[in-house]
Amino acid sequence: MSLLKVQNLTKEFPLGFFGKERLKAVDDVSFEIERSRIVSLIGESGSGKTTVGKLILKLIRPSSGQILLNGRDITQIKGRELREYYRKVQGVFQDPFSSFNPIYKIDRVLDMVFEEFFPDTPASERRTKMEEVIASVGMNPREILGKYPHQLSGGQLQRILIARTLLLNVELLIADEIISMLDASTRVDILNLLGDLRERGMSVIFITHDLSLGYYISDETFIMYRGNIVEMGDTEKVFHNPIHPYTKMLLESVPEIDRKWDLSKRFIPELVSSSNAPCKYYDRCPIRDERCLVQKPAMVEVEENHKVLCLKAGD
């Protein structure tokens, strides 16, 4: 049984002044994540990545669909079951400063994990465990535990948030753009830390719009476009044998060190489709044909653990 199974997940938001129209921020998304895997969710701004993360974290409710953790549908759980869910599934977000209460020192922040989830743990054991997890995210507990959040850097705060998930021993971490605010060398340290979590048996959904970061760290990659996953599978296959025209375009648009900016290759995304084609990529698609105007694409398995949402993928 997979750790996480998401089935036909959809989230609509009201659109416009009176909210009569609806935006499908996540549209019929299905995937499974096994234990001890890092999966990147990649797509341009507004493609629905954060909404998927928030739905799994139960910060918002789905319009339809199911989310199963270890086979149990969690969309309706409440009370004690919900608390137990948060012991297993946690999120870390882009801006680490906003995740901390500025008046609590770091020891207090970590102690609250014990208060909430393991209240019977004696004080001395709490301290030992806190020191262990701070050390395992590469920091000196004596330098960190007595400090307030504003006395630490963004990278240090991200590590503390990851240390917090180690205290809980979570099974699934949703990491939403957690390294966009960090400098290049701190980024690599945090990415490597995610790799360590995987070695401990944790799975990570790594949300990013940065293809190279996704490629560096993930076992599997899901490419999102306007609420749909358009391509998914082993990272090596998605990156080295991209099939969906959107994935191909994304990979071609990564700036390379030895390639200069070229106006003729500039791509301006069209966020609202002008046709009513069932394929959301139709208006931008260089390989579209008349079938794409009438037939809704379904996920096609093009090779083992590599699927594509495109009518032409099977051609």
Give the interface with ligand ATP as residue ranges (CB under 6 A).
13, 23, 25, 43, 45-51, 209
* DSSP assigned state of 139: -
- 8 Å CB contact between 250 and 42: yes
Reference 157, options 177, 176, 178, 136; nearest CA is 178
- 8 Å CB contact between 224 and 40: no
Least Å distance, CB 242 to ligand ATP, is 19
Between 15 and 82, whose beta carbon lies closer to ligand ATP?
Answer: 15
Between 51 and 228, whose beta carbon lies closer to ligand ATP?
Answer: 51
Least Å distance, CB 96 to ligand ATP, is 16
Between 15 and 298, whose beta carbon lies closer to ligand ATP?
Answer: 15
Least Å distance, CB 43 to ligand ATP, is 5
| Phi then psi dihedrals of residue 276, to 5 deg | -105, 30
Between 92 and 109, whose beta carbon lies closer to ligand ATP?
Answer: 92
Between 25 and 277, whose beta carbon lies closer to ligand ATP?
Answer: 25
Rg from Cα positions in the chain? 21
Residue 72: CB atoms within 10 Å: 11
Least Å distance, CB 13 to ligand ATP, is 3
Determine how β-strand 220-225 pairs with β-strand 228-234: antiparallel
| Phi then psi dihedrals of residue 203, to 5 deg | -105, 150
Between 51 and 165, whose beta carbon lies closer to ligand ATP?
Answer: 51
Least Å distance, CB 152 to ligand ATP, is 25
Instruction: Tell me whether residue 311 is exposed, middle or buried, using C-beta atoms within 10 angstroms of its C-beta: 0 to 12, 13 to 18, 19 or more.
Output: buried
Least Å distance, CB 25 to ligand ATP, is 3
Reference 221, options 89, 51, 38, 10; nearest CA is 38
Q: Can you state the angle between helices 106-117 and 154-168, rounded to 10 degrees?
A: 20
Least Å distance, CB 222 to ligand ATP, is 12
Between 23 and 300, whose beta carbon lies closer to ligand ATP?
Answer: 23
Structure tokens given for 107: 């020891």
